[in-house]
Chains A and B, each alone.
Chain A
Amino acid sequence: DSGVTQTPKHLITATGQRVTLRCSPRSGDLSVYWYQQSLDQGLQFLIQYYNGEERAKGNILERFSAQQFPDLHSELNLSSLELGDSALYFCASSARQGAYEQYFGPGTRLTVT
């Protein structure tokens, strides 16, 4: 158990819909990272937050957004969903900004039908 929690574990929704994925980092970790994992693209970095502020962006679509709240939990919002958004979404956390030892949560499997 990494100490990172993610909810829900599974999510099935229709195209065009909007969903919110939730992540709680390890106790004391200030950085949260979001990743998308699909069969053809592997693990792709989406976005990073540190202590409530956005710090780095990767291959995140404009339809996707995220935020980190004062209690350090984070949410990833996916809107106008397309079939190709079906993937595993992972949250990871690290102790400090720029720490490269990231600890991953169990993931949310999103299926868009």
Chain B
Amino acid sequence: GQQLNQSPQSMFIQEGEDVSMNCTSSSIFNTWLWYKQDPGEGPVLLIALYKAGELTSNGRLTAQFGITRKDSFLNISASIPSDVGIYFCAGQLRGSNYKLTFGKGTLLTVNP
């Protein structure tokens, strides 16, 4: 199936630092979603993007739908300990109707 390449796989940062992660693909996506998953829980939707070039914020989180429609970026500013978790990108591939394809996740560790 289609793959989303999410990077980095893991990040270790200090509290207060900014974080960037991204997802790329060789295919065109119509929608990009970003989720956060805490251990033992289900993914929680953070941001949804529907148009190429769209930039959307949710508090300290900002995500962008790449102009080529083949990538998306998530930035977290001024990280805090509760930002720890796994961040997933998910995309709706053009022509795939209802199916979401997920990246493998970025594990974020924040050192207080």
A residues neighboring B (CB under 8 Å): 2, 4, 31, 33, 42-45, 48, 50, 55-56, 58-59, 90, 92, 97-98, 100-107, 109
Contacts and interface: CB of A to CB of B under 8 A. Distances in A.
A-B pairs, 3 with minimum CB distance: A104-B42, A43-B102, A100-B31
Given A2-B44, A42-B104, A45-B102, 8 more contacts: A50-B98, A56-B99, A58-B1, A101-B48, A103-B45, A104-B42, A104-B43, A104-B44
Nearest to A109: B40
A106 B38 CA distance: 10
Interface string B85-101: 00010101000011111
Contacts of B99: 45, 48, 56, 58
A56 B97 contact: yes
Interface of B: 1, 31, 33, 35, 40-45, 48, 50, 88, 90, 92, 97-105
B41 A43 contact: no
Contacts, number: 62
Nearest to B33: A100
Contacts of B102: 42-45
Contact of A59 (B1, B33, B44, B48): B1
B41 A107 contact: yes
A104 B101 CA distance: 15
B42 A90 contact: yes
B41 to A, nearest CB: 6
B72 to A, nearest CB: 13
Contacts of A105: 42
A107 B42 contact: yes
B98 A98 contact: yes
A86 to B, nearest CB: 15
Nearest to B4: A42
A59 B98 CA distance: 14
